[in-house]
Amino acid sequence: MKLEPTAQPKLYIGIDIHKRSWKVHCATDLFGGKSFAMPPKPEVLYEYVAKHFPDHQVTTAYEAGCCGYYAHRSFEAYGWHSLVVNPADIHRKGKERFTKTDKIDAQLISRELKDGRLESIHVPHVEREQLRSLFRRRNDLVKDYRRIKSLIKMQLLYFGIAIPEEFDNDHWSHKFRGWVDEVVFAYPSARETLDSRMRSFRFIDQELRDVSTKMRAYCRKHYKKDYYLLKSIPGIGGIVACGIICELGDLRRFNSIKHLAGYVGLAPGIHQSGDNQKSTGITMRAHRLMRSYFIEASWQAIRTDPIMQAYYRRHLGKNVKSIIIKVARKLLSRTLAVIKTETPYAIGVIE
- If asked whether residues 313 and 337 sit together in one domain, one would say yes
The predicted-structure confidence for 109-145, as pLDDT tens digits, reads as follows 999 999 999 999 999 999 999 999 999 999 999 999 9
Would strands 81-85 and 268-273 be described as parallel, antiparallel, or unpaired? unpaired
- State which amino acid sits at residue 130: Q
Q: How many domains does the chain have?
A: 3
C-alpha distance from residue 237 to each of 16, 180, 232, 240, 347 (Å)? 40, 31, 8, 6, 15
Q: Residues with Cβ < 8 Å from 337, sequence gap 6 or more?
A: none
Residue 151 lies in a domain: yes
| Number of neighbours of residue 172 by Cβ within 10 angstroms | 15
Nearest alpha carbon to residue 294 among 267, 319, 329, 262:
329
- If asked whether residues 17 and 101 sit together in one domain, one would say yes
- If asked whether residues 18 and 110 sit together in one domain, one would say yes
Residue 197 lies in a domain: yes
3-state secondary structure the chain: CCCCCCCCCEEEEEEEECCCCEEEEEEECCCCCEEEEECCCHHHHHHHHHHHCCCCEEEEEEECCCCCCHHHHHHHHCCCEEEEECHHHCCCCCHHHCCCCHHHHHHHHHHHHHCCCCCCCCCCCHHHHHHHHHHHHHHHHHHHHHHHHHHHHHHHHHCCCCCCHHHCCCCCCHHHHHHHHCCCCCCHHHHHHHHHHHHHHHHHHHHHHHHHHHHHHHHHHHCHHHHHHHHCCCCCCHHHHHHHHHHHCCHHHCCCHHHHHHHHCCCEEEEEECCEEEEEEECCCCCHHHHHHHHHHHHHHHHHCHHHHHHHHHCECECHHHHHHHHHHHHHHHHHHHHHHCCCCCCCCCC
Task: Give the pLDDT of residue 112.
Answer: 93
Task: Give the pLDDT of residue 304.
Answer: 92
Residue 229 lies in a domain: no
The boundaries of the domain holding residue 151 are 126-222
Q: How many CA atoms lie within 13 A of 245 on its CB side?
A: 29
pLDDT bucket at 351, cuts 50 / 70 / 90: low
Residue 228 lies in a domain: no
Task: Give the pLDDT of residue 2.
Answer: 58
Phi, psi of 174 (to 5 degrees): -65, -30
- pLDDT > 90 fraction of the chain, expressed in percent and rounded: 80
Does residue 348 surpass a pLDDT of 80?
A: no
Final residue belonging to a domain, choices 114, 148, 169: 114
pLDDT bucket at 218, cuts 50 / 70 / 90: very high
Task: Give the pLDDT of residue 3.
Answer: 56
- If asked whether residues 258 and 335 sit together in one domain, one would say yes
pLDDT bucket at 241, cuts 50 / 70 / 90: very high
- If asked whether residues 174 and 215 sit together in one domain, one would say yes
Measured CA to CA, the distance from residue 123 to residue 121 in angstroms comes to 6
Task: Give the pLDDT of residue 158.
Answer: 95
Final residue belonging to a domain, choices 114, 139, 164: 114
- pLDDT > 70 fraction of the chain, expressed in percent and rounded: 96
Residue 104 lies in a domain: yes
**What's the distance, CA 228 to chain centroid?**
22
The predicted-structure confidence for 166-206, as pLDDT tens digits, reads as follows 998 888 999 999 999 999 999 999 999 999 999 999 999 99
**Is the pLDDT higher at 123 or at 270?**
123
Q: What CATH number is associated with residue 48?
A: 3.30.420.40
Least confident piece of the model among 87-96, 177-186, 194-203, 248-257:
87-96
Measured CA to CA, the distance from residue 56 to residue 254 in angstroms comes to 34
Measured CA to CA, the distance from residue 44 to residue 48 in angstroms comes to 6
Final residue belonging to a domain, choices 84, 114, 144: 114
Measured CA to CA, the distance from residue 247 to residue 250 in angstroms comes to 9
Task: Give the pLDDT of residue 100.
Answer: 87
Averaged over 215-230, what is the pLDDT? Answer: 96
Task: Give the pLDDT of residue 8.
Answer: 87
Residue 143 lies in a domain: yes
Measured CA to CA, the distance from residue 350 to residue 307 in angstroms comes to 7
Category of 118 on φ-ψ map: left (φ > 0), alpha (ψ -120 to 50) or beta:
beta
Nearest alpha carbon to residue 18 among 41, 44, 43:
41
Task: Give the pLDDT of residue 5.
Answer: 58
Does residue 272 surpass a pLDDT of 80?
A: no
The predicted-structure confidence for 273-322, as pLDDT tens digits, reads as follows 677 777 777 888 889 999 999 999 999 999 999 999 999 999 888 888 88
Residue 236 lies in a domain: no
CB distance 170 to 250 below 8 Å: no
- If asked whether residues 84 and 156 sit together in one domain, one would say no
Task: Give the pLDDT of residue 6.
Answer: 58
Q: How many CA atoms lie within 13 A of 323 on its CB side?
A: 15
